[in-house]
Amino acid sequence: MAFEPREEQKELKYDELRIYSDEELNNYTEEELKNFKIKHDIPMCDDLEKGPWPSFVADSKREALHRKNLAKDRMMIDCDVVEDTLGQLEESFVDGETHWKHGGIVGVFGYGGGVIGRYSDLQKKFPSIAHFHTMRVNQPASKFYSSDYLRSICDLWEYRGSGLMNFHGSTGDIIFLGTFTEQLEPTFYELGHVLQQDLGGSGSNLRSPSCCLGKARCEWSCIDTQDMCYELTHYYQDELHRPAFPYKFKFKFDGCPNCCVASIARADMSYIGTWKDNIRIDQEAVQAYIGGEIPPNAGAHAGRDWGKFDIEKEVINLCPTNCMRLEDGKLVINDKECTRCMHCINVMPRALRPGTDTGCSILFGAKAPILEGAQMSMLTVPFMRCEPPYDNIKELVEKVWDWWMEEGKNRERLGELIQRWGVPKFLEVLDLPPMPQMVKEPRSNPYIFWKEEDVEGGWDRKIEDYRIKHMR
């Protein structure tokens, strides 16, 4: 069944929403750009334009020239904002330190956690970036955009901000880089009331949930990532809009173990689609791969002659659990040993497919290196059904949040709390049995701390019972 949003969605038409004419949007020539020099001397930034890769410095200069050629009343903040941004960046390279001061969260009406406050500490030298607040905009599920929507938000930010944008931040949001405080409320109003778009989370709250293409485009997706992302985004609006957590918390939804939104590396709670039954095998297609009739990796490596496909070398010997073998010319898989790494399916997609008994694995604790270093998330729930309205998943989420909000220190991510308290305590909170796969190394502490319910008779003993066996 096709995914359908709950609210009526109006179709955005750029011709009705546009702020700038075609002439204003294309207001310089390549010759002008070639001869354009910004008002600050930035030799170290200029170096970043060299080499074969696209450069944000080159893009920023295009934007600076574009703003310079716009009429002053066609922008709500100073036209020099991009030039001053590059000038301050040069100062940071020279001094070896940032000149941005983090101003905490700047609230907008109806959204307590929506805007990242930033201020320059060189305001006299670069007055047009005295304020440089960053707005996160909640991306659509799977980042499906229409050109009308993209052009509309670009016009909006050109008018009310610096025109500089980032697609996308590590949470997935669209990033609007740099505007003054006075423009935050009007921008938020336009986003919500005209473009039907919410801000993304900032601060100690639930950040914008993000998902891969899922069943919309991917044949391997084991769960409807878009529906899960949409449901949990709507269900937890209060947690998105009102920072009440010890620190940030991220949901990410991956349709299969290929993990296309990197949930295993970047989410406090990762949902990764998986299957319980056996990998489906098309033995005729296996033979076609072996015979060279079908290119491996869906032809992705076709730019070079790698020689004849060798299933032993390229698939079977690379299986992390050695659960595959060729037997009488047929591919055999010991599915009990399979860890769902997807390597064999990626190499031979027309021969192998995920099973049909699908759900998701749930992992906890991934984060970037802030306090304790980078962490990958830990597989905690090997398999859980994923069917609307996802009450089983919501119940698990709330167990985690209740414990984290009670015990988490300020700016302590869930993964760090698990490290501090230990996996046994976390499993106790979730009421889940431990698995041997969770053991990282043999324990080094020789002492065992018993719980009263695990000790026969509990803590209360009678000396008379003891004397029966141990007479004086």
Residue 3's pLDDT band, with cuts at 50, 70 and 90, is low
C-alpha radius of gyration, the chain, whole number: 28
Same domain, 102 and 237: no
Give Cα 162 distance to the centre of its chain.
25
Residue 154 pLDDT greater than 80, yes or no: yes
- DSSP code of residue 367: B
Indicate the pLDDT class of residue 2, thresholds 50, 70 and 90: low
Instruction: Specify if 204 maps to a domain.
Output: no
Q: How far apart are CA 86 and CA 445, in angstroms?
A: 54
State yes or no: pLDDT of 149 exceeds 90.
yes
Q: Is 143 exposed, middle or buried (0-12, 13-18, 19+ CB in 10 A)?
A: middle
Q: What is the rounded distance in angstroms from the CA atom of residue 141 to the CA atom of residue 354?
A: 23
Predicted local distance difference test score (pLDDT) of residue 373: 79
Tokens of 266: 């970047």
* Same domain assignment for residues 157 and 77: yes
The residue-averaged pLDDT of 217-232 equals 95
Q: What's the longest Cα–Cα distance across the chain?
A: 105
250 with 321, same domain: the answer is no
Residue 148, domain CATH:
3.30.70.2500
Do 138 and 57 share a domain, yes or no? yes
296 and 329 assigned to the same domain: yes
Residues 30 and 134 in one domain: yes
Domain boundary among 330, 353, 376: 353
Helix (H) or strand (E) segment spanning residue 210: strand 210-211
Calpha distance 144→297 (Å, rounded): 25
Final residue before a domain boundary, out of 353, 386, 406 = 353
CATH value at residue 226: 3.30.413.10
Q: What is the rounded distance in angstroms from the CA atom of residue 380 to the CA atom of residue 375?
A: 15
Domain count, the chain: 3
Domain annotation covers residue 387: yes
Full domain range(s) for residue 58:
14-194
Report if pTM > 0.85.
yes
244 and 370 belong to one structural domain:
yes
Domain membership flag for residue 445: no
Looking at the structure, tell me whether residues 172 and 310 fall in a common domain. Answer: no
Among the three residues 167, 194, 221, which one is the final residue of a domain in this structure?
A: 194
Tens of pLDDT along 176-200?
Answer: 999 999 999 999 999 999 999 999 8
Contact indicator for 120, 101 with CB cutoff of 8 Å:
yes
Residue among 188, 195, 165 nearest 13 (CA): 195
Q: Measured in whole angstroms, how far is the alpha carbon of residue 193 from the centre of its chain?
A: 26
With 80 as the cut, is the pLDDT of residue 292 above it?
yes
State how far Cα 157 lies from the chain centre: 23
Residues 25, 124, single domain; the answer is: yes
Lowest pLDDT segment from 9-13, 127-131, 271-275, 337-341: 9-13
Record the tokens describing residue 469, joined without a space: 């066996």
Residue 29 sits in the same domain as residue 106: yes
Q: Assess if residue 250 is contained within a domain.
A: yes
Residue 262 has pLDDT above 70, yes or no: yes
Predicted pLDDT of residue 92: 97
